[in-house]
Amino acid sequence: MGTSERLLDAITLRDWAHTAVSDLITHIDEINRLNVFPVADSDTGANMLFTMRSALAEANAGVNSEGGSACVARATAAMSAGALNGARGNSGVILSQILRGIADVTAVAAADSGGELPHIDAAILAASLRRGVDLVIASMGGEEIPGTIVSVLRAAADAVGERAQAGEGLTPAITAAGDAAVVALEKTTEQLDVLADAGAVDAGGRGLLVLLDALRTTVTGQAPARTVYELSPRAPQPDGAAERPAPQFEVMYRLDGCDAAAADALRDRLGELGDSVGIAAATSSAERTYSVHVHTDDAGAAVEAGLAAGRLSRIVISALSSGAAGLPVGGWTRERAVLAVVDGDGAAELFGGEGACVLQRDPAAGDPVNISAHQLMRAVIDTGAAQVMVLPNGYVPAEELVAGCTAAIGWGIDVVPIPTASMVQGLAALAVHETGRQAVDDGYTMARAAGAARHASVRIATESALTWAGRCQPGDGLGIAADEVLIVAADVVAAAIGLLDLLLASGGDLVTVLVGAGIESEDDVADVGGVLQKHMHDHHPGTELVTYRTGHRGDALLIGVE
């Protein structure tokens, strides 16, 4: 092994994923142009990039939460889980199964070696790629179609296996994998009529070659030179048959609580509804998590079929197109998004209804837990947008906000954090958001709206204490602004009235009140809203008041004035 060559350990694996993401960004336009099978929707490169980004984000999160691990089995398990959860499109599902193949084999190798596997050798890599071939074929219904990414993957696996059997090391095996993949990739044009007609190699196979070359670059420090593949359509061949119209929709979702028999039944049903059916399992346990994919004209029926099989989440329905996808640079599925950090189911529904992507604090946690940098980074990536305006809403510590946004920027996302210290400020910022504006203009406008929204909160006292407004007793309502207690009153409503009078002393057109989890029943919410509405009518005519039940924890009420 040369001095510049590295062992394929956990750190090298994560470096490989990092390089793979960078290289997919470089080759995304080439791969998208080659995408003519199974549907010419020009998104194979984007879907592989998005899926690999998700795998890397999960691996990085695991390193920081566990302080780093020397076992490659844990690193590959994290990458596999991230890829499955973030898989986009048919090519993303396939990529998730390739990574699962590595995770499955390294898990067995780790168990055989006493629980820890320090690095991957040529034999383990060969077994991993062969396992990936089997899993990809199984996810696509058990039938291998020559001329697809499976052909390229099988050639790479065989080449690595031959080197391992000959007793050669990892570097020759990785080099052989890439060289064999090139030969198999260029044969794909001869194996599928649709590729021959377009004069294209298989787009998924080209993406796989990028991943294999990224592995070679990471281990050896040398990047191989490859041909840039283009379309070279041949003259139309008369066959006397009209082409079948392509399905209208791509449907994807995560499926939990489903056994193998139900998954097989779902595959059959989706096969009746459309084509390009992919059902990929996360593990080999009895009750699995699946990533489900289908192209169909009846998206509703595809979702209903999943509901009959188990619990659905992460449902994505996209219109299939036959032309260029028109995606932003970097393979993102849209130009701009707003990510709002919220607490409470009602808050998630409120911000989501206004068009924001939502990162909700864990509702199962006993106490409200602040969002970490890695949770934030993952949520930014999951928006699928090239530009993301982040509304922390007081739930992300400054150091975590900076770290999370910086990490996301490292993956090519233009992130703009908006200084919102409360969800009421977040709503004010969201109200003026316009996707059509330049990002800097949109961010400035949102920040100015947030800063102009005066905000305060009402909390219920839990102990006797001396405050700036006097002594409070347990059960008193505390009106808080700028982290100081300004009102001590007999209850929540009285404290809210006192705060409203203070906040409206300099005027205001709109008051927003968010009702937290401490006010539980609908009657109580209605009573609070009614009393405050009457006070506004009597003492602040002309100022509108709106009340939402968000279910946030901690403060009983959040109040904003615009």
Q: Do 88 and 334 meet the contact criterion of CB atoms below 8 Å apart?
A: no
- The sign of the torsion formed by the CA atoms of 24, 28, 34, 40 equals positive
Sequence ranges of the domains in the chain:
10-220, 249-319, 336-452, 454-561
Asked whether 458 and 492 are in contact (CB, 8 A), the reply is yes
d(CA 100, CA 81): 8
At 235-254, the pLDDT tens digits run 554 444 445 566 778 888 88
Q: 199: alpha, beta or left, given left = phi > 0 and alpha = psi -120 to 50?
A: left
pTM for this prediction: 0.61
Tell me, yes or no, if the two domains 249-319 and 336-452 fold the same way. no
Across the chain, which has 562 residues, the per-10-residue mean pLDDT values are: 72 91 87 77 81 86 56 90 86 92 93 86 95 92 86 96 94 95 92 83 92 94 89 58 65 86 91 88 67 88 89 78 49 82 92 92 71 84 87 92 82 87 94 89 92 92 88 91 89 91 89 86 75 90 90 90 90
Pairing state of beta strands 274-281 and 288-296?
antiparallel
Per-residue pLDDT tens for 350-361? 999 999 999 998
87-113 per-position pLDDT tens digit: 888 888 999 999 999 999 999 999 888
CATH of domain 336-452: 3.40.50.10170
* Architecture of domain 249-319 in this structure: 2-Layer Sandwich (3.30)
Contact 247, 320 (CB under 8 A): yes
**Domain boundaries 10-220, corresponding CATH code:** 1.25.40.340
